[in-house]
Amino acid sequence: MFADRSDAVCDDDPHRGYGVAVTPGCTGPCALVTGYGPGNRLLTWRDGGLRDVATPAVADAGRHAIGVVAADLDSDGREEFYVHNTDEYEGHTRDTDLLLDPVRVPPDDGSVRWRDLFGLGVNADRGNFRAGRSVAALDRYGTGRYGVFVASYGPASRFYELGDDGELSDMAGAVGLSVTAGGRSLLAGPLVTDRMDLFVGVERGPNRLFRNDGGHFTEVAGPAGVADPETDARGVTVADGDLAYGAWEGPNRLYRADGVGAAGTNGGSGADAARDAGTRTFTDVAPPDFAEPTRVRTLVSADFDNDGREELFVHAMGTENRLFRRDDGDWTRLDPGAAEEERGLGTGAAVADFDGDGALELLLVHGELAAQPLTLFSVPGAADNDWLRVRPTTQYGAPARGARVTLETDAWTRDRVVCAGSGYLCQMGPVAHFGLGDATPERVTVSWPDGRTATLDRPAVREEHELAHPMAPRF
């Protein structure tokens, strides 16, 4: 299916990389690829290729970066990058994290300089020295101001929120998000409510699923049916409505939502109790080809060929990558073509339309055991098919991570959630991308994490539509 376009990655020396997060740039998507020892890279499309434009502050060479996420923590309309550094497998680390805040450089031509908010005097004792893995953005009230959850491995997790003076506060215990486990992967979004909930994939123990009860969280993985304590979770995503996650040499899961009961009623246990408590329940419907154990690192779901059906890509380490497509309700295995990478030491992966042609590129990161180059793939001819992209924004004009976008066509209805952190160590671009195939779009509806909605009727095809939050100022 995929063709190799890695020659478009300029100056692509072998790299020990892990995570990748995509944020809007001045001229197109920017991808921060973490470096485990070597510097981080900041890739953007210029002069026909992906070029590294990282400044020394972004590169931060010498530390051990692994997970990364982008979000607007200070409600200024621009996303910060949160980079988790760890030089230990578990416990505590000598490296603290990096929170990169973009500051406009006059004249205002789009240029920025980056400052590390952990380096401010007010945060002198606020550094994170807990070894961990993934990070995710979480707007618990739907105000457009995000916090960052850090999945620690061993010590209790962190959930940082940023004050107006630049002070970082760990709110995990206060809001019900304290997790002491082998935290691996994260998925933030409307999973069991219409707000931003949080799934934590765990190694050596049960997963956690936190239901957002209006800014405070309740752990519901057991009654929801996704605790799965015997599986060592890795990458996680929502694939065509199913909660999908991969495991390390164990069975992979595809959880389909069963239903939700009326909150506040009593009785029952297990799934019945979950429904009675207002919690969505899930059933594993993974077909044998997907469930088959492998060495999963990251999962990515997207419509790569713009035919109106979503693919699910499984990025693995030291074995072949896999590709699946949902067709008529069933997931079937496909040939990934050049992206199979049988000898790739896969870590992170992300999707974005880097070159602006209307089709998605797949960027793969490697380097867990040895340095390997980045690779880039796309599907030949995908840009010839019709497509539609939706970019919801917050009250402040930043990407609305966690917003749900629903597209109704004359043939089908699909949902996408703007990525707030998924895959494993990674985050996708902040745009809901829909391939159309032969379908004609009729209506787009955006649901923000605060419950407000907006619609766009008869949206034009082959265009990216920005929908502002209903409470955003209008000039």
Four-point Cα dihedral 312, 467, 31, 80, nearest 10: -120
At 258, the pLDDT band (50, 70, 90 cuts) reads: confident
At 262 the pLDDT is: 29
Strand partners, 393: 399
Q: What is the pLDDT of residue 419?
A: 97
Residue boundaries of the structural domains of the chain: 3-385
Whether residue 449 is predicted with pLDDT greater than 90 in this model: the reply is: yes
Angle at alpha carbon of residue 328, lines to 274 and 221, rounded to 5°: 20
3-state helix, strand and coil shares in percent for the chain, rounded to the nearest 5: 10, 45, 45
Inter-residue contact 241 to 227 (CB < 8 Å): no
Per residue in 394-419, pLDDT (tens digit) is: 999 999 999 999 999 999 999 999 99
Residue 375 has a pLDDT of 97
- What is the arithmetic mean of pLDDT over 315-338? 94
83-100, pLDDT tens digit by residue? 999 999 999 999 999 999
The position carrying tokens 């019900």 is 176
Report the DSSP beta bridge partners of residue 450.
none
- The strand pairing partners of 413, in sequence order, are 408
Q: What is the mean pLDDT of the chain?
A: 93
Whether the predicted model's global pTM rises above the 0.85 cut: yes
Average pLDDT over residues 133-149: 97
pLDDT tens-digit series, residues 358-389: 999 999 999 988 999 999 999 999 999 999 99
Q: What is the pLDDT of residues 99-127, one digit of tens each?
A: 999 987 776 666 788 999 999 999 999 99
Instruction: Give the pLDDT of residue 457.
Output: 98
Q: Per-residue confidence at 259, pLDDT binned at 50, 70, 90? A: low
Confidence category of residue 462, pLDDT binned at 50, 70, 90: very high
pLDDT, one tens digit per residue, over 263-316 is 222 233 344 444 444 678 999 999 999 999 999 999 999 999 999 999 999 999
Burial of residue 94 (number of CB atoms within 10 Å: 0-12, 13-18, 19+): exposed
How far apart are the C-alpha atoms of 227 and 221, rounded to whole Å? 5
pLDDT recorded at residue 269: 38
The CATH classification of domain 3-385, taken from the options 3.30.930.10, 3.40.50.1980, 3.10.520.10, 2.130.10.10: 2.130.10.10
Distance CA 80, CA 362 (A): 23
